[in-house]
A and B are shown apart, each in its own frame.
Chain A
């Protein structure tokens, strides 16, 4: 994995994060919210190789830690997303080719988003944080997965094109 791709993909994730914080967060989705950023990060992680999943999981988590609204310790999302990157790197092959089964791909993205939020909460509990009641948090996580499942198919093609554009010539081959 080239350094230039790490930088390009990080910038792409940062741009998505800015869109999430300034535009998507404004929309009052029923039940809970929708995180475009987590969905895009899950797409990126699912398409990377083992090293890529770990590196972009860590970088993606660090970017998420930048959120001005976050009251969690800096690095908590990085830890959670590194773990998620590891899960993707280990289990990606078992899911098979995403091009053949788009529904599986979308389900995986929604499920990954839910697991990442649960991981974040579990780490928060271990660190002694109070993130609210279990029912409320499960509702938020369910709502996020639900909206991810519905909305992700709209922007998967765009994300895939951008990712292809970010690959170096050698990596495209």
Chain B
């Protein structure tokens, strides 16, 4: 009896393993089984995600807020002053105002670059078990979104649309280890490739062996053919550390992204690339500093 049960289990195990391998083979051979099913699931859960996005927006960063509690202590005094001011002004809703500012800035960036965009709200982040760095946004095919469109924020590049549902889309973030983008250094025009590292730092590999990288250099997207997956001119990041290695064929550098991917709430999807390359026009300019010249008086006044 036990032997019979064991045989049945083994048969079941083999059957299930073969079924799994069959599904994987179908998927890898291009049968679009997964795409349509996942798109359906995305369509079903996007309203739920939208609802929880509104309900849980203060809770999302709870863990990181607790983690940064020590660092935040210094800011508390400054913030207390601001709280008083804010109370006096009675601003309708801080969150809404913040989102409005982000929206204004992202539209401003898109306008300067000549991109036609659809703005979107971030409604979810990818689950840990996918091992992918993704975001879910609340626009989909019904808003004119399709695969391989560039996603930008108020500061620069965010990622690329990877899959699209009717009312939501999945964005592959630039921090994902599989993410690579062709860039050029603003000003010197040396070209290279920036890769995601799964965290907040990125790796720049300069393709031009004679080119020079300096800390503080700004990188912009070179752009792809027909603007997909990358439109040209979008700021990608700034060089933070140059890795000098004489034996290496390519020059490498660590890069910090323009966009804080942890704090995104409003983004824009570029649906039409610009007619011409905006070149370096989107590179953030350093703020002008006021210089005061003091001319000493020719005759010193006697002091009493």
Interface residues of A (CB under 8 A from B): 18, 20-30, 32-35, 37-38, 50-51, 54-55, 57-58, 61, 64-79, 82-83, 86, 89, 117, 120-121, 124, 127, 130-133, 136-137, 140, 143-144
Q: Given the complex of chains A and B, what is the CA–CA distance between A35 and B64 in angstroms?
A: 17
Q: Given the complex of chains A and B, what is the CA–CA distance between A29 and B172 in angstroms?
A: 19
Known: A70-B38, A71-B162, A136-B177. A23 touches B128 (CB 8 A): no
Is there contact, CB below 8 Å, between B131 and A79? no
Interface residues of B (CB under 8 A from A): 5, 8-9, 12-13, 16-17, 19-24, 26-28, 33-34, 37-39, 41-42, 45, 48-49, 52-53, 56, 59-64, 67, 124-132, 134, 136, 162-163, 165, 168, 170, 172, 176-178, 197-199, 262
Residue in A29, A38, A83, A89 whose CB lies within 8 Å of B129: A38
Is there contact, CB below 8 Å, between B127 and A78? no
Q: Give chain B nearest CB distance to A42 CB in angstroms.
A: 12
* Minimal Cβ-Cβ distance residue in B for A77: B129
Q: Given the complex of chains A and B, what is the CA–CA distance between A67 and B126 in angstroms?
A: 9
Chain A interface mostly = helix
Is there contact, CB below 8 Å, between B41 and A68? yes
Most A-side CB within 10 Å, residue of B24, B49, B177, B199:
B24
Provide the residues of chain B in CB contact with A24, threshold 8 Å: 127
Q: Given the complex of chains A and B, what is the CA–CA distance between A58 and B17 in angstroms?
A: 8
Known: A71-B162, A127-B28. A27 touches B20 (CB 8 A): no
Q: Give chain B nearest CB distance to A41 CB in angstroms.
A: 10
Known: A18-B45, A74-B24, A75-B21. A64 touches B64 (CB 8 A): no
Residue in A26, A79, A89 whose CB lies within 8 Å of B125: A26
Is there contact, CB below 8 Å, between A75 and B20? yes
Q: Given the complex of chains A and B, what is the CA–CA distance between A58 and B21 in angstroms?
A: 12
Is there contact, CB below 8 Å, between A73 and B27? yes
Is there contact, CB below 8 Å, between B20 and A78? yes
Is there contact, CB below 8 Å, between A82 and B262? no
Is there contact, CB below 8 Å, between A28 and B22? no
Sample of 17 A–B contacts (CB below 8 Å): A27-B62, A29-B63, A50-B9, A51-B8, A55-B16, A58-B19, A58-B20, A66-B37, A67-B127, A68-B38, A68-B136, A69-B132, A73-B23, A77-B129, A117-B129, A127-B28, A133-B177
Residue in B130, B162, B168 whose CB lies within 8 Å of A67: B130
Is there contact, CB below 8 Å, between A21 and B178? no
Q: Given the complex of chains A and B, what is the CA–CA distance between A64 and B177 in angstroms?
A: 21
Provide the residues of chain B in CB contact with A65, threshold 8 Å: 23, 34
Is there contact, CB below 8 Å, between A69 and B63? no
